[in-house]
C-alpha cells in the first residue's frame, strides 16, 4: 500500500513520506479497501487544498537551532584564534594544519545542521536555508573576531611572518590599514563562501538523515 504515497505531491513526501510509510507498515495487517480510498482522498487534499497552506512549520525552529550551533562554533573558533594569534603566537605563521582542521570542523557542523534539521522534518529548502544562515553567521562573526584580535593585539599579530610578507608585497604603509583592508575583503568573501558550503553540506547531511530513516531495518 506504500505505493499510494507516490500519489502525494513532492513537498508532502519530502516532509511526511518516511513516517507515513512506517505507519502503513504498522497498519499492513489491517489493510482494507477503505484505507486505499482514505489515502486517495488524502493525496487529493494534499495536492489541492493543503498545498495552499503554509507548509514549512518546522523551518523556523530549525533555523533558530542552526544559529545557536553557529554561535557555538564561532565561540570555539574565537578561542582558537586568540590562542594561536595572541597567547601562543607563531612567528612563522605556519598554521596551515590548524586552519585546515578548523575548516573541516566547520564543514562537519554544517553537515550536522542539515542532518538534524532533516530529522526534525524540515523541508529541503529549509535545510538549505539553515546551512546557508549558519555558514554566513560563522563567517561574519569569525571575521569580527579577527578584527578585534588584530586591532587590539596589533603589536603581537604584526610580528607574524605572513603579515610582514603581505605588507611588503602590498607596497608598504601601515600594518593596521593593511590588516583591516584584508579583513574588509574577508567580511564579504568568508560569509559568502561558508554560506555556499553550508547550503551544499546541509543538504548533504539532510540527505543522509533521510536515507537513514528510509532504509529497511533488519529485525531480530
Partner 1 sequence: MSDLGRFADPSILILTSLAGGPKHGYALIKDIEAFTGTTLGPGTLYAALARLENRRLIRSLPEEDRRRPYEITGVGVVALRAYLEHARRVAGVGLKRLAAYA
- Say how far apart CA 158 and CA 172 lie, in whole Å: 13
The stretch near partner 1 (CB under 8 A) out of 53-61, 72-80, 98-106, 150-158 is 53-61
Q: What angle do CA 192, 84, 104 make, to 5 degrees?
A: 45
Is 64 an interacting residue with respect to partner 1 (CB under 8 A)? no
157 contacts 91 by C-beta, under 8 angstroms: no
Q: Which of positions 154-173 make contact with partner 1 (CB under 8 A)?
A: none
> Which is nearer to partner 1, 30 or 169 (by Cβ)?
30
* Options 10, 23, 108, 177; binder of partner 1; rule CB under 8 A: 23
The stretch near partner 1 (CB under 8 A) out of 19-27, 136-144, 174-182, 184-192 is 19-27
Is 10 an interacting residue with respect to partner 1 (CB under 8 A)? no
- Say how far apart CA 179 and CA 170 lie, in whole Å: 11
30 burial level (CB within 10 Å; 0-12, 13-18, 19+): exposed
* Options 3, 9, 33, 45; binder of partner 1; rule CB under 8 A: 45
Is 43 an interacting residue with respect to partner 1 (CB under 8 A)? yes
- Least distance to partner 1 from the beta carbon of 116, Å? 8
Is 65 an interacting residue with respect to partner 1 (CB under 8 A)? no
The CB-based long-range contact list for 209-216 (8 Å cut-off, 24+ gap) reads: 209/114, 209/115, 209/116, 209/118, 209/119, 210/18, 210/118, 213/18, 213/119, 214/17, 214/18, 214/21
Which DSSP string do the residues of 13-57 spell out, in sequence order? Answer: HHHHHHHHHHHHHHTGGG--HHHHHHHHHHHHHHHHTGGGS---T
Is 55 an interacting residue with respect to partner 1 (CB under 8 A)? yes
- Least distance to partner 1 from the beta carbon of 6, Å? 14
> Which is nearer to partner 1, 32 or 176 (by Cβ)?
32
Grid cell listed for 123: 523541508
Residues that bind partner 1 (CB under 8 A): 12, 15-16, 18-24, 26-27, 34-35, 37-43, 45-46, 49-50, 53-55, 57-58, 61, 119-121, 213-214, 217
Amino acid at each position: 500500500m506504500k505505493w499510494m504515497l507516490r500519489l502525494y505531491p513532492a513537498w508532502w513526501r519530502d516532509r511526511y513520506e518516511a513516517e507515513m510509510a512506517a505507519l502503513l507498515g504498522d497498519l499492513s495487517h489491517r489493510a482494507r479497501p477503505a484505507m486505499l480510498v482514505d489515502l486517495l482522498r488524502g493525496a487529493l487534499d494534499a495536492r489541492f487544498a493543503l498545498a495552499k497552506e503554509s507548509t514549512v512549520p518546522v523551518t523556523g525552529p530549525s533555523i533558530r537551532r542552526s544559529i545557536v550551533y553557529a554561535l557555538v562554533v564561532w565561540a570555539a573558533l574565537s578561542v582558537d584564534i586568540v590562542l594561536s594569534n595572541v597567547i601562543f603566537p607563531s612567528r612563522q605563521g605556519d598554521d596551515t594544519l590548524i586552519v585546515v582542521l578548523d575548516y573541516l570542523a566547520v564543514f562537519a557542523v554544517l553537515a550536522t545542521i542539515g542532518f538534524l534539521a532533516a530529522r526534525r522534518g524540515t523541508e529541503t529548502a529549509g535545510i538549505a536555508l539553515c546551512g546557508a544562515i549558519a555558514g554566513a553567521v560563522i563567517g561574519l562573526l569569525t571575521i569580527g573576531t579577527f578584527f578585534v584580535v588584530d586591532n587590539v593585539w596589533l603589536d603581537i599579530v604584526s610580528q607574524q611572518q605572513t603579515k610582514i610578507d603581505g605588507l611588503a608585497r602590498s607596497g608598504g604603509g601601515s600594518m593596521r590599514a593593511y590588516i583591516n583592508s584584508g579583513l574588509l575583503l574577508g567580511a564579504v568573501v568568508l560569509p559568502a563562501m561558508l554560506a555556499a558550503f553550508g547550503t551544499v553540506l546541509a543538504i548533504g547531511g539532510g540527505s543522509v538523515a533521510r536515507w537513514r530513516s528510509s532504509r529497511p531495518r533488519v529485525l531480530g
